[in-house]
């Protein structure tokens, strides 16, 4: 993100990456939401702090920029909650976040998506189908569908491999797949988040 030009307002955006507990599940397909936030902080958005625990948000680590004009962008990684029970944790995070200011903030959930190919990124409304994703299903039972979902394509398992979807999403990316994520997904997702942020702030 270009951190040299301020956006147009201070309306906050909470960007949540989904994943199973870290570090045990780092670099697995199900944790690609967390992976993206790590990459944004370490490789793209130089003004943001490293992720750290925040006593206000029990199940998440938080990163923010030190630049006051960008303090409305808050990144949150799920670090100690299993994917299929993300709903209550995200609800607690979102409820606490909203109480801090009366500014009608926006929520974006970043997750793995097997229905689109590796390297693809897709934005959808919170009211759309979970497509079998247990984390999204859990969240949909806890929150009003006013949030945005960003799906990061991880592809479907090869039909010839007979691997089950559960085993597939819990397996780690191969090196060539990480290359695609680093060279394609990271770029696309970064630009989309910036576009969403600018769109929100232009209202």
List active site positions.
Answer: 30
Tokens for 192, please give them: 């989309």
> CB 75: neighbour CB atoms within 10 A?
27
What sign does the CA torsion over 41, 96, 110, 162 have? positive
Q: Reading across the β-sheet that carries 148-153, which strands appear in turn?
A: 52-54, 57-64, 73-78, 13-17, 106-113, 148-153, 121-125
CB contact set of 14 (below 8 Å; sequence gap of 6+): 74, 76, 93, 94, 97, 105, 106, 107, 108
DSSP string of 4-71, one letter each residue: TS--S----EEEEE--SSTTTTTTBGGGHHHHHHHHIIIII-TTBPPPEEETTEEEEEEEEBSSGGGT
Helix, coil or strand: residue 106: strand
């Amino acid at each position: 993100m270009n951190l040299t030009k301020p956006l147009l307002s201070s309306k906050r955006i909470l960007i949540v990456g989904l994943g199973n507990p870290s570090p045990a599940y780092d670099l697995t397909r199900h944790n690609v939401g967390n992976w993206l936030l790590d990459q944004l902080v370490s490789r793209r958005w130089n003004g943001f702090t490293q992720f750290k625990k925040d006593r206000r948000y029990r199940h998440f680590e938080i990163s923010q920029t030190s630049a006051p004009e960008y303090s409305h962008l808050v990144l949150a990684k799920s670090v100690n909650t299993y994917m299929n029970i993300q709903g209550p944790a995200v609800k607690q995070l979102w409820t606490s976040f909203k109480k801090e200011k009366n500014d009608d903030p926006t929520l974006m959930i970043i997750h793995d998506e097997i229905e689109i190919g590796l390297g693809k990124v897709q934005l959808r409304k919170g009211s759309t189908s979970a497509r079998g994703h247990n984390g999204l299903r859990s969240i949909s039972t806890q929150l009003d569908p006013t949030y945005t979902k960003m799906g990061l394509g991880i592809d479907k398992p090869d039909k010839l491999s007979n691997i089950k979807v559960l085993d597939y999403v819990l397996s780690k990316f191969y090196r060539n797949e990480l290359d695609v994520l680093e060279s394609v997904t990271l770029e696309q997702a970064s630009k989309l988040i910036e576009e969403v942020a600018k769109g929100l702030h232009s209202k």
